[in-house]
Amino acid sequence: MARFVLTRRSPLTAEACWDRLTDWPRHGDRVPFTTVRADHGSGRQVGDTILARTRVGPLAFDDPMEIVDLVAPGPGRDGSCRLEKRGRVVRGWAELTVRRLHPEGGTEVTWTEQISIACFPRAVDPVVACSGRAVFGRVLSHLLS
């Protein structure tokens, strides 16, 4: 499985960062040929599912994800959301965390993902990780801007 970690700092509050990170349709704004939506539920509770659909012409695949752990940031509490990827093409997990920075203020956001893509041998994991850092780095920067 390919693994990558992205970290960004933002002057936004933890709550504002959280709202942007869990605005699932905005994730698709920077992933080519992909739309993202809450498929079951609001996308803000354990058990809800998120669906990323990628389509290029007649070729398409779904990346269904289930929220298996979710703690919104609150007073004295950081936020985290763990998604399990349950598709036939993309498997693995992603974890988004929001941490308040004290005493300087602002927030640190970390996106950690471990994925495997069907039919891709492990030998290409470094390429998958590099691609993930590039694509999801753009997504994260977009969400926090």
Q: Which tokens in the block code for residue 131?
A: 């691609």
Side by side, which strands form the sheet with 90-100? 2-10, 107-117, 90-100, 79-86, 59-71, 49-56, 34-40
Q: What is the pTM of this model?
A: 0.93
Spatial distance between the Cα atoms of 98 and 81, rounded to a whole number of angstroms:
9
Spatial distance between the Cα atoms of 23 and 19, rounded to a whole number of angstroms:
6
pLDDT tens for the 145 residues of the chain, in order: 999 999 999 999 999 999 999 999 999 999 989 999 999 999 999 999 999 999 999 999 999 999 999 999 999 899 999 999 999 999 999 999 999 998 888 999 999 999 999 999 999 999 999 999 999 999 999 999 9
Strands (E), the chain: 2-10, 34-40, 49-56, 59-71, 79-86, 90-100, 107-117
CATH number given to 2-142: 3.30.530.20
Burial class (CB in 10 A: 0-12, 13-18, 19+), 133: middle
**What sign does the CA torsion over 124, 116, 88, 43 have?**
negative
